[in-house]
Structure 1
Amino acid sequence: MTAVLAHTIVPVRDQDESVDFYTNVLGFQYDGRAGMNDVFAMICLNDSSTLDLRDSDEIPGLIHHYAFALGRPHFDRSFQAIKD
């Protein structure tokens, strides 16, 4: 089996707002909560990878970079949703 990304933890300021963005703007699926005390909100990227969103008070300006490859129609819909 080829190694694949299983998950990455993404620090967020507000899990509910972040779940809304990843699901309603970018079109990913929310897969519930996980971890001790349900600290992670899981966003399914595909059959094997999730973003595990976790509330964080990290120092503002700390850079995290995540890139998603989207087809043009998906990109256009997402970009329009962000503008709206």
Structure 2
Amino acid sequence: MSVQLNHTIVPARDRDATADFLVDVLGLEPAPVYGPFRVVTLSNGVSLDVAQAGEVPALHYAFLVSEEEFDEIWGRIRERGLTYWADPYHRQPGRINRNDGGRGLYWSDPNGHNLEIITVPYGG
């Protein structure tokens, strides 16, 4: 068996609001409750298990998307008036990047997690 990522925990100040935010902006299926988690499932079967947490460190989550999905997600980001950046340090607001021959952008979730969408994996 090859090693694959199955799930990761996403700490949140408000589990339900965070899960709903991810589902809404990324255009995913509703996130069911499983024990203490809201399970946001990605198309490759990996899940983001959103958990209530007192302390929430800012983490980074990157999503590889198609060109069409990029346009849809970017549109939802703009519709919601969310600030986005072309770079992970948030120095280029309102721009996207064209790194590695694709497109990418960063935005923050309600917990300060740095979210990223890219259309081409790093290194092309």
Indicate whether the TM-score tops 0.5.
Answer: yes
Equivalence map 1:1-84=2 (5 Å): 1-34=1-34, 38-58=35-55, 62-84=57-79
Tell me which protein shows more helix as a share of its residues. Answer: 1
Distance of 2:58 and 2:31 partners within structure 1 = 26
Q: Percent identity?
A: 34
Cα deviation for residue 46 of structure 1 reads 2.8
Q: Scaled by the length of structure 1, what TM-score is found? A: 0.78
Unaligned runs of 5+ in 1: none
Structure 1: which 4+ aligned runs deviate by more than 6 Å?
Answer: none
Aligned CA RMSD, in angstroms, stands at 1.7
The structure whose RCO (Cα within 8 Å, separation 6+) is larger is 1
SS at match of 2:59: coil
Cα deviation for residue 31 of structure 1 reads 4.4
Q: Scaled by the length of structure 2, what TM-score is found? A: 0.56
